[in-house]
A and B are shown apart, each in its own frame.
Chain A
Amino acid sequence: MTKVTMTVNGKSVSAETEGRTLLSAFLREGLGLTGTHIGCDTSQCGACVVHVDGKAVKSCSVFAQDVAGASVKTIEGMANADGSLGVIQQAFQDHHGLQCGFCTPGMVMSAAALLAENSKPSEADVRHYLEGNICRCTGYHNIVKAVMAASGQDVSALAAE
């Protein structure tokens, strides 16, 4: 076992790992941060997306020891300091961007990565960027709407179906 230390949501954390311990397992089992979901475990679905040093990655396809020392942000780090929902989370609630909610953590993390690169994405930009995030409820229209709204754009003209 090897002790791995990294910064998660602004706090320095450590846990014992094997070589094969995935970042997703380090977060969920090592730290109890179960907001990061495991959907497919084959890097297809995007439910496990977190940020490593500001970049979106699929935590099921990264070894914990490979990101020792990195700064990681998970869905648990997306709320405001007072515990209220962050802008993207609030937009998902306001625009019904989740149904069962399983894909939501990955959707929110990918959306945050998109908005960090492109603060006013078009609808096509959002759909393209979320290519690697699959919603099994197929609720994509409202997810896209929520991301557009989170970027401060008027979404009243976007189809709601």
Chain B
Amino acid sequence: MHNFDFVKPASVADAVAALSTEGAQALGGGQTLIATMKQRLADPAVLVSLTGIADLQGVCMGDGGLHVGGATPHAVVAREAGKYYPALAHLAGGIGDPAVRNKGTIGGSLANNDPAACYPSAALASGATIVTNRRKIAADDYFQGMFSTALDEGEIITSVVFPIPEKASYVKFNQPASRFALTGVFVAKYAGGVRVAATGASNNGVFRWKAAEQALSANFAASAIAGLTVDDADMISDLHGTPAYRANLVKVLAGRAVSAAT
């Protein structure tokens, strides 16, 4: 990879200042970005590590639900979020492998918005709020297509706030080589209705399956979606699965998630 200047600020203000330099890029746990830089698909002049900022670390209950600091590693969410939001902890504990979970961060995952990443489905299905150094962004407005988000240049995810559902579950069909989701579905039941988000399926990245949300809001049972179909028109096609296969997986996994929801 090309060389760069590495900085590790201790505060959000210092990180924002460092990110205003030409060619600067934020670094979370680096479990995607470092591999991308080795392939020279990313070429920052300055890399600003966010993992030295104490304010961005940790999991706690607060206004609006569970607050997860933007630089919190997956392993910490897996270990500490379980008593508040078990489905979210389960999702975090299934990302990558133990060594990846010790480094990779929730903010990094959401900022990258990989179309097969796990966290975007949890954020979208939970109606989470992505909090940055500048504003609060509703998950429905945040995800804007594959590798694309509402974040502006130099904007940092400081925390993510997850409203706690009555019941929820995430079911992931593993792609065993990459350990990403071949397809994954997160179902969350709130007093106001059910939300269903699918990852690893659409060319536009994570999306809500609204027909299933309506059916499940009326009757929260796998049988309620048995008669529905998922349109495969814009599904991902690769050597691991055809668009029709992924569309079917969304339905199958949503049904399993409903049955498993606690």
Give residues in A with beta carbon < 8 Å to B. Answer: 2, 18-20, 22, 41-44, 46, 49, 52, 55-58, 61-63, 65-66, 68, 110, 113-114, 129, 131-133
Q: Which residues of A contact B102 (CB under 8 A)?
A: 52, 55-57
A43 adjacent to B6 (CB under 8 Å):
no
Q: How many A-B residue pairs have CB under 8 A?
A: 76
Known: A19-B47, A62-B103, A66-B30. A129 touches B98 (CB 8 A): yes
5 A-B pairs within 8 Å (CB atoms) are namely: A19-B47, A41-B38, A42-B38, A44-B177, A46-B97
- B226 CB–A CB distance under 8 Å: no
Q: Across the interface, do B98 and A110 meet the contact criterion of CB distance under 8 Å?
A: yes
Given A19-B5, A131-B179, is A58 in contact with B99 using a C-beta cutoff of 8 Å?
yes
In angstroms, Cα B101 to Cα A49, docked, is 13
Interface residues of B (CB under 8 A from A): 1-6, 8, 27, 30-31, 34-35, 37-38, 47, 49, 51, 75, 96-100, 102-103, 177, 179
Query: Closest CB-CB distance, A94 to chain B, in whole Å?
Result: 25
Q: Is there contact, CB below 8 Å, between A63 and B34?
A: yes
Contacts of A41 in B (CB 8 A): 38
Contacting pair A18 B38 (CB below 8 A):
no
Q: Which residues of A contact B4 (CB under 8 A)?
A: 19-20
Which A residues lie within 8 Å of B34 (CB)? 22, 43, 61-63
Question: A18-B3, A62-B34, A66-B49 provided; 14 other pairs, C-beta below 8 A?
Answer: A19-B47, A20-B3, A49-B99, A55-B75, A55-B102, A57-B102, A58-B100, A58-B103, A62-B30, A62-B103, A63-B34, A66-B8, A113-B98, A133-B97
In the complex the two chains form, is B1's CB within 8 Å of A20's CB? yes
- Cβ-closest chain B residue relative to A46: B99
Contacts of A18 in B (CB 8 A): 3
Q: Residues of A contacting B3 with CB < 8 Å?
A: 18-20
Contact A132 B99 (CB under 8 A): yes
Q: Known contacts being A18-B3, A19-B6, A41-B38, is A61 close to B31, with CB within 8 Å?
A: yes
Cβ of A63 and Cβ of B99 under 8 Å apart? no
Which listed residue (A49, A110, A132) contacts B96, Cβ 8 A?
A132
A131's nearest neighbour on chain B, judged by CB, is B97
> What is the CB-to-nearest-CB distance from B57 to chain A, in angstroms, rounded to a whole number?
13
How far is B177's CA from A22's CA once the two chains are assembled, in angstroms? Answer: 23
Q: Which of A44, A65, A132 makes the CB contact (< 8 A) with B98?
A: A132
Which one of A22, A52, A132 contacts B100 once the chains associate, using CB atoms below 8 Å? A132
Q: Which of B38, B49, B98, B177 has the most CB of A within 10 A?
A: B98
**Residue with the greatest number of chain B CB neighbours at <10 A, chosen from A19, A56, A65:** A19
Which residues in B have their C-beta under 8 angstroms from that of A61?
Answer: 30-31, 34-35, 103
Nearest-CB residue, chain A, relative to B102: A55
For B96, the closest partner residue in chain A by CB is A132
Residues of chain A within 8 A of B179, CB atoms compared: 131-132
Distance between B240 CB and nearest chain A CB, rounded to angstroms: 16
B8: chain A residues at CB < 8 Å are 65-66, 68
B residues in contact with A55, CB < 8 Å: 75, 102
Q: For B35, give its contact among A43, A46, A113, A133 (CB under 8 Å).
A: A43
When distances are taken between beta carbons in the complex, the residues of chain A under 8 Å from B6 are 2, 19, 63, 65-66
A138 to chain B, nearest CB (A): 14
Alpha-carbon distance A150/B30, docked complex (angstroms): 32
| List of A residues within 8 angstroms of B96 by Cβ | 132
Nearest chain B CB to A27 CB, angstrom units: 15
Nearest-neighbour CB distance to chain A for B82, whole angstroms, equals 15
Chain B: CB-nearest residue to A52: B102
